[in-house]
Chain A
Amino acid sequence: MIYLLHPLTLVTFFPLVGVLVLLFLRPEQKNAARWVALVATLVTFGISLAVLAQFNPSNPDLQLVVDVPWIPVAGWEIHYFLGVDGLSILLLLLTTLLAPISIFSTWTAVEERVKDFMIFFLLLEIGMVGVFLAQDLFLFYVFWEFTLIPMYFLIGIWGGSRRMYAAVKFFLYTMAGSILMLLAILWLGIHQGSFQMPTLLALGGIPGNLQIWLFLAFAAAFAIKVPMWPLHSWLPDAHVEAPTAGSVILAGVLLKMGTYGFLRFNLPLFPYAAVKLAPWMAALAVIGILYGAAVSYAQKDVKKLVAYSSVSHLGFVMLGLFALNSQGIQGGILQMVNHGLSTGALFLIVGMIYERRHTRDIDAFGGLWKIMPIYGVLTLIVALSSMGLPGLNGFVGEFTILLGAWGAGQPDGSYGTYWFAALAAIGVILAAVYILLMFQKLFLGPVTKDENRSLKDLNWREIVTLVPLIILIFWIGLYPKPFFMLMGPTVDNLVKAIQAASVAMIP
């Protein structure tokens, strides 16, 4: 039973302790519920730091592995199999960091059914952490689908005016893709005789044309989650209708589950297909970058603007991953973290002004800089980080991705054309256009609406919510080396494995 106290089991299931405590509270004990959830997520974050302390960055393989047979099925076994490596350690930390921050942001925003909200939120954290740690395909699928349930309720109960529509659409849309992935998982289990990632990778040898089909089945689930253009239609609804904490988690973590899925499963399991389809994935990624940026620019609702900007930013991540070289993949992973920090912070910021004015109409504001100076400064930092200003985190990620995409543009690279990198670079400019427009319309110029004159600046709780994100925004922007070090060896190994497998493979 030692695996019950294994650090990865603890970090995954500790929020369950919070859920158990919450069950004993009465519904009207709102503050107690908040504190229980906050403490539970903070302890989970602490455990994830302990995991980081035990993590050896120079080891490219899975670490802190816990692997026990779980469901014995004739012939092949399903394992309870958790492990962490350079691909997932940063996403684990991002998830456990964003959870307490989101809880903290609900302190006054969520007043209805606080206890239920916190229970769903803690359950959601279990699912998210499990997704990033699971190394058995079946276990992964269980966690993957499990995240849908609490999110469905978070949007459906605490969401905006069209919450039921958004919640059902979110659920059905993401579920539809997952079913195809389940079929591919079953194929692997039946034909390869195992669900465990290391065993599957050691076996290899899936014929080329089958790889393409399996790749596409997995991609159906992940591409919807990312979301890749043109599968993004669920996103503006879910993001806009979700409560602030839900939007933060949606953008910060759930979208990363899609890009992480490509990285963890599609690239190493189907290397031939990955190389073969890389230009197609890059084309969709670049369309997403430009399309997302252009559509963001025309939005009248601030939250919708931020939602569409995710389509653009996640396009960068996909472009980096399918460069299939070290810079591209490392940049992609770092940009996942960056997007979680910047867009998470942007959703918090939108939530703060919504709580005061109960509107998100971009034209309802103007001149806020004079009324809410602290809010203005923090927003400016986050906005500049989101558009990739040098010295802040977004620049490091996007720059590394563009380097990778450019490298992949060489004749022997996975793209074989420089066009993807060149067009994506235009996306950086278009990001600046919509971000600066948003900032200008909200903060600059004279105060045109009288309702805005009496707005209060941020209180200490709101500042505390944003400050950890802003520290990380500067840290990654100025000294990203520790972050690259954590993922470097694993990524290098992955790149080598893809090259070796795709060269050896004849369709």
Chain B
Amino acid sequence: MVLAGLSVLGGLLNFPSLKTFGIWLEHTLKNNLHEGEFVLLIAVISTILALLAIFLGWWLYNPRRYESFWAMPAAKRQDDPLRVYIGPVFEVLKNKYWVDELYWTVILNPYISLSRFLADVVDWRFWHDWFHDKVLAGGYDLLTRLLAVQIDLGIIDGIANGLGTLAQRSAGSLRRVQTGYVRNYALFIFLGVVIILGYLILAGNPLK
């Protein structure tokens, strides 16, 4: 009822001589559009068509039929009277031209799948979990462990420890030289003198 009232009002808005609708949004368009003219033929034909439709509707679904239809139990209700006249067209109309189904297959379902794919696979599993957590954070973790364990503990500490071990080992073997016997030291001094003198003699005296 409300819709009917509003549509009467909507029709009145553009009643010849009022013409409100034709100029309402005119200023939003740059080119001057000329308003539609009132053509008697179109007006008469559309009015006749509308009246015809009202009559047909009343004839098919008049109050008497309506009451008898609802009085019957659901299983025994007769078919919609319109089906007899238009057959397959009735199916098309009954399913609203399958606009809803079309809308779901063409727009809604693909969009839902796309957004789930973007959200779960691309954004979360790939970009958040894999790239940031695994590659960036994990990669850095790996690098630090490589530096800390392999490079720092393995090589750098290895060099320092190696030097220490080297010093210890050489000390251990050199320790045996320090026997505490004067004759040993005298022997080594003597050997040293022989080597130096031998070198000086054989190489020609560089002190000259």
A interface residues, Cβ below 8 angstroms from B: 169, 230, 233, 236-237, 291, 294-295, 297-299, 308, 433
Contact = CB atoms under 8 A, between A and B. Distances in A.
B69 interface: no
Nearest to A165: B133
A308 B120 CA distance: 13
Interface string B78-117: 0000000000000000000000000000000001101110
B123 interface: yes
Contacts of B115: 294-295, 297-298
Q: Give the top 7 A-B pairs by smallest Cβ distance, nearest first.
A: A298-B119, A294-B115, A297-B115, A298-B115, A295-B119, A298-B116, A233-B132
Interface in B41-60: none
B118 A295 contact: yes
A230 B126 CA distance: 12
Task: For chain B, give the interface size range.
Answer: 10 to 19
A409 B123 CA distance: 30
Contacts of B128: 233, 236-237
Contacts of A169: 132
23 contacts: A169-B132, A230-B127, A233-B127, A233-B128, A236-B128, A291-B118, A291-B123, A294-B114, A294-B118, A294-B119, A295-B115, A295-B119, A295-B123, A297-B111, A297-B112, A298-B112, A298-B115, A298-B116, A298-B118, A298-B120, A299-B119, A308-B119, A433-B111
Which residue among B112, B116, B119 has the maximum number of chain A CB atoms within 10 Å of its CB?
B119
Nearest to A298: B119
A225 B164 CA distance: 51
Nearest to B116: A298
B35 to A, nearest CB: 26
Contacts of B119: 294-295, 297-299, 308
Pick from A169, A230, A233, A299 the residue with the most CB of B within 10 Å: A233
A308 B119 CA distance: 10
Nearest to B113: A298
A175 to B, nearest CB: 14
Chain B contact surface mostly: helix
Nearest to B140: A172
Contacts of B116: 298
Given A295-B115, A297-B115, 11 more contacts: A233-B127, A233-B128, A233-B131, A294-B114, A295-B119, A297-B111, A297-B119, A298-B116, A298-B120, A308-B119, A433-B111
Contacts of B132: 169, 233
Contacts of A233: 127-128, 131-132
A297 B119 CA distance: 8
A385 B131 CA distance: 35
User: Which of A169, A237, A294, A308 gathers the greatest number of chain B CB atoms within 10 Å?
Assistant: A294
B203 to A, nearest CB: 61
Contacts of A433: 111
Nearest to A300: B119
B28 to A, nearest CB: 13
A110 B123 CA distance: 31
Name the residue among A237, A291, A298, A433 with the largest chain B CB count within 10 angstroms: A298
A299 B119 CA distance: 7
A298 B116 CA distance: 5
A475 B119 CA distance: 35
Contacts of B131: 233
A236 B128 CA distance: 9
A169 B128 CA distance: 11
A237 B116 CA distance: 18
A294 B120 CA distance: 11
Contacts of A294: 111, 114-115, 118-119
Contacts of B123: 291, 295
B92 to A, nearest CB: 29
Nearest to A176: B136
A298 B115 CA distance: 6
A231 to B, nearest CB: 10
A200 to B, nearest CB: 34
Contacts of B120: 298
Contacts of A298: 112, 115-116, 118-120
A294 B119 CA distance: 8
Contacts of B114: 294
Nearest to A234: B132
A366 B119 CA distance: 23
A299 B116 CA distance: 8
A298 B117 CA distance: 9
Contacts of B111: 294, 297, 433
A45 to B, nearest CB: 37
A79 B127 CA distance: 41
Nearest to A297: B115
Nearest to A299: B119
Contacts of B127: 230, 233
